[in-house]
Amino acid sequence: MTGAFYFESEASFRMAQDSARGTANRLARETSPYLQQHAHNPVDWYPWGEEAFERARAERKPILLSIGYAACHWCHVMAHESFEDEETARLMNELFVNIKVDREERPDIDRIYQIALQVLTQRAGGWPLTMFLTHDDRMPFFGGTYFPKEARYGMPAFRDVLRKVAEFYREHEADLRRQNESLREVFAEIDPAPAHDVQLSAEPIRVCRARLEQSFDREFGGFGGAPKFPHANQIERLLRDWHATAQGPEPDLHALYMATLTLRRMGEGGLFDQVGGGFCRYSVDAYWMIPHFEKMLYDNALLLPVYAQAAVATGDSFYARIANRTADWALREMLAPEGGFYSSLDADSEGHEGRFYVWDREEIRQALSDEEYTVFAPRFGLDREPNFEGRWHLHAFRSLESIAEETGRSVEQIESLIDAARAKLFQLRERRVRPGRDEKILTSWNALMIRGLAIAARSLARDELAEAATRALEFIRRTLWRDGRLRATYRDGRARLNAYLDDYVFLADAILELQQVRFRADELAFACELIEAVRKHFADERSGGFYFTSDDHEALIHRSKALGDDATPSGNGVAAQVLLRMGWLLGRSDWLQDAERTLRAAWSAVEKYPHAHVSLLTALEELLEPPQIVIVRGPEEEIERWRRELAKLYAPRRLVLAIPADATGLPEALAEKAPRDRTVAYVCRGSTCSAPVDSLGTLVRDLRLALERT
């Protein structure tokens, strides 16, 4: 890199720019890196809170609410074009009270106003989200996402929008109030009526399977056209569909094909960082070639276990390699010294999207040996035209087999050469200005990564992944669990904000997965505390299910109950899964009843749009047919051998807990399954358990026979 200055990362590059701008605004005191990115804007920004609301009421000015996140490319574009522009800022300050929100810290606020935007405009939302609210009750009356500085893309100039919205607010406030009443009615009716007297059935699972096939891209994998998102939940659903039929007369091989083709195309594509590992947010095309380059912790946390499970299910080492490289990326680039995981890497570096990741062909040619380049170039398209703004973003265009045949080498030799080339390019790339990293630690996303690492540790036999998951869990318990309640976010020694439903149930789910790698009674007790906190503070006692926010949360214009999956699984879906599994494991009938009430609360939505409620479908599946629970008791070394052997089997509807004979502090339901003078296993389904099995071979045989009978 040439020039007078070298910045270690995009974050330091931005900080240097900010320092040159002078006085910081109120956002400088916030913990969110995204809000701090705007701390030197000429806009008179407020964080969400009473100070801003009081000023809006006092001056009768409408509120301009801008919601985004640190890794968002178009958020950066709008910031550069408008929020850093003196004239635009002057208009914003004159006409509005301006509030900035990090959607990752405040998903409660983002969720409400995204829904409002869809109701008001009949269009999908996104980020940056730009909403205009009434001065006294914060009801939205107009909005959009990205607005350009000058009119283009069929969108008006942002400054024109500001003037017209302010004028309309002054002259038509009574009309807006009537619109707001209609919007309140929409919010009041948004949750479906519970299905108290309906017979729950597996029909939505079958309909989901059919709809996924209808939207499946048979050439490139995935569902629908561009842009394409990973949708880890749906891939996992297809693996479960296949496994449920695998031992029957007509195994659903097409479900397996849809899942594995999608995983392969994503893993070979530009969505996956072919040099450093880890997945970007989504692909802008149908081929998984060119992504938006931000890397989010939650995407990787969700994809990691699916690839690991696919490796066990199929025996194909490709999926194991992608899982291993994803885990390695997370431990290398996202792990905080305290033990938690950071939130994201920016799409941009040095002010340009993707600059850190793309290559000049000659740069690669000079870095590699002739032998390496001969196989690397056709594999990743360097013998083709550039695919990203005159440069190359690595995407697998040709198979290893075809290159092996052309060059007279074996596939193993081709893989070895490509791995050597990848290592050289990784070292070369490390010298570049790195994308900014959002170093806040979110409880819910960390919980997803703990779960992913636990499943990967079990599937790939990598103990260090379980150790990393354990350290992350210990960090959460140490810093984000206070007086029986969770906090949602942590940065620079500050844990803050009431946690949301997702924080609690994702963490309980993660703990249960971690127990299947190594058992700790105190962690299981912590999961029980989390479940009880959810039941006490989030339950909808009238209709069933759980609200996104707690009963002592800040009052907003709507208390939402998220049922459908989004970029992350539905909190209600995961809650129902955890309540069922923990309920059967510990003999808690009240938890089982809460799970069923959750499914009944969502039933009409699940019936209409099953493919949008995959997390709830998994819970439905395990309500209709309880999962198999295997408890292994005995000396620690011996039960570990049994556990590792059982982990070689793909069994998504089985829990295996290997509990040492000398374990103390066990709940009664587990203490009953006492060890004998040698290692034994108890196989349970629902409330019925087998006699103790004292042979590993017999246990494996019995489990296979049980699978054939289901």
Q: What secondary structure letter does DSSP report for 189?
A: T
CB atoms within 10 A of CB 291: 28
- Scan for tokens 């979110």, then name that residue: 442
pLDDT at residue 23, as a whole number: 76
- Across 515-535, average pLDDT: 98
pLDDT at residue 355, as a whole number: 97
**Residue 174 pLDDT level (bands cut at 50, 70, 90):** confident
Inter-residue contact 148 to 155 (CB < 8 Å): yes
Chain centroid to CA 347: 17
Q: Is the peptide bond before 227 cis (omega within 30 degrees of 0)?
A: yes
Token digits for 28?
């400088």
In whole angstroms, how far apart are CA 64 and each of 39, 121, 187, 202, 635? 17, 17, 21, 46, 63
Residue 177 lies in a domain: yes
Looking at the fold, whether 304 and 443 belong to one and the same domain comes out as yes
**Residue 8 pLDDT level (bands cut at 50, 70, 90):** very low
Asked if the model's pLDDT at residue 375 lies above 70, the reply is yes
Strand partners, 486: 481
Looking at the fold, whether 655 and 605 belong to one and the same domain comes out as no
pLDDT at residue 20, as a whole number: 46
DSSP 120-145: HHSS---SSEEEEE-TTT--EEEEES
Indicate the number of domains in the chain.
4
Give every strand in the sheet of 295-296, ordered side by side.
295-296, 344-345, 437-438
Domain boundary among 397, 415, 431: 431
**Residue 556 pLDDT level (bands cut at 50, 70, 90):** very high
Q: Above pLDDT 90, what percent of the chain?
A: 90
Token digits for 434?
């790195």
Looking at the fold, whether 157 and 212 belong to one and the same domain comes out as no
Looking at the fold, whether 149 and 225 belong to one and the same domain comes out as no
Asked if the model's pLDDT at residue 6 lies above 50, the reply is no
How confident is the model over 414-432, as pLDDT tens digits?
999 999 999 999 999 999 9
How confident is the model over 225-280, as pLDDT tens digits?
999 999 999 999 999 999 999 988 899 999 999 999 999 999 999 999 999 999 99
What backbone torsions phi and psi does residue 294 show, to the nearest 5 degrees? -65, 145
Inter-residue contact 246 to 266 (CB < 8 Å): no
Strands (E), 544-638: 628-634
Residue 638: name the closest of 551, 696, 687, 573 by CA: 696
Residue 617 lies in a domain: yes
Better-scored residue on pLDDT, 94 or 677: 94
Residue 574 lies in a domain: yes
Q: Give the Cα separation of 128 and 118 in Å (integer).
A: 14
Q: What is the dihedral of CA 105, 109, 113, 115, to 10 degrees?
A: 90
Residue 195 lies in a domain: no
Q: Give the Cα separation of 703 and 690 in Å (integer).
A: 11
Residue 147: name the closest of 46, 75, 61 by CA: 75
How confident is the model over 655-689, as pLDDT tens digits?
999 999 999 999 999 999 987 789 999 999 998 99
Inter-residue contact 646 to 630 (CB < 8 Å): yes
Q: Which of 9-18, 85-94, 282-291 has the lowest mean pLDDT?
A: 9-18
Asked if the model's pLDDT at residue 5 lies above 60, the reply is no
Q: Which amino acid is at 669?
A: A
Give burial (CB, 10 Å; 0-12/13-18/19+) of 185: exposed
How confident is the model over 152-171, as pLDDT tens digits?
988 899 999 999 999 999 99
Q: Give the Cα separation of 110 and 129 in Å (integer).
A: 8
Looking at the fold, whether 323 and 340 belong to one and the same domain comes out as yes
Residue 4 lies in a domain: no
Range of the domain at 640: 628-709
Looking at the fold, whether 100 and 211 belong to one and the same domain comes out as no
Token digits for 206?
């079958």
Looking at the fold, whether 141 and 207 belong to one and the same domain comes out as no
Indicate which CATH number applies to the domain containing 248. Answer: 1.50.10.10
How confident is the model over 49-91, as pLDDT tens digits?
999 999 999 999 999 999 999 999 999 999 999 999 999 999 9
How confident is the model over 596-624, as pLDDT tens digits?
999 999 999 999 999 999 999 999 999 99
What backbone torsions phi and psi does residue 599 show, to the nearest 5 degrees? -65, -40
Residue 2 lies in a domain: no
- Most distant CA pair in the chain: distance in Å? 84
Inter-residue contact 132 to 92 (CB < 8 Å): no
CB atoms within 10 A of CB 258: 26
Asked if the model's pLDDT at residue 22 lies above 70, the reply is no
Looking at the fold, whether 414 and 535 belong to one and the same domain comes out as no
Looking at the fold, whether 210 and 328 belong to one and the same domain comes out as yes
Q: Average pLDDT of the chain?
A: 94
- Scan for tokens 């939940």, then name that residue: 233
pLDDT at residue 675, as a whole number: 79
Residue 459 lies in a domain: yes
How confident is the model over 185-240, as pLDDT tens digits?
999 888 888 988 899 999 999 999 999 999 999 999 999 999 999 999 999 999 99
**Residue 710 pLDDT level (bands cut at 50, 70, 90):** low
- Across 28-44, average pLDDT: 96
How confident is the model over 103-136, as pLDDT tens digits?
999 999 999 999 999 999 988 899 999 999 999 9
Give burial (CB, 10 Å; 0-12/13-18/19+) of 12: middle
Domain boundary among 431, 454, 473: 431
Looking at the fold, whether 519 and 535 belong to one and the same domain comes out as yes
Looking at the fold, whether 604 and 645 belong to one and the same domain comes out as no
Asked if the model's pLDDT at residue 312 lies above 60, the reply is yes
Looking at the fold, whether 455 and 512 belong to one and the same domain comes out as yes
- Scan for tokens 């080339």, then name that residue: 421
Sign of the four-CA dihedral 100, 104, 105, 108:
positive
How confident is the model over 538-548, as pLDDT tens digits?
999 999 999 99
Q: How many CA atoms lie within 13 A of 216 on its CB side?
A: 24
Q: Give the Cα separation of 219 and 691 in Å (integer).
A: 49
pLDDT at residue 12, as a whole number: 45
Inter-residue contact 598 to 575 (CB < 8 Å): yes
pLDDT at residue 704, as a whole number: 84
* Number of residues that make up the chain: 710
Indicate which CATH number applies to the domain containing 141. Answer: 3.40.30.10
Residue 294 lies in a domain: yes
What global pTM score does this model have? 0.95
**Residue 1 pLDDT level (bands cut at 50, 70, 90):** very low
Radius of gyration of the chain (CA): 26
Domain boundary among 157, 188, 219: 188
Token digits for 314?
């199929």
**Residue 638 pLDDT level (bands cut at 50, 70, 90):** very high
pLDDT at residue 2, as a whole number: 29
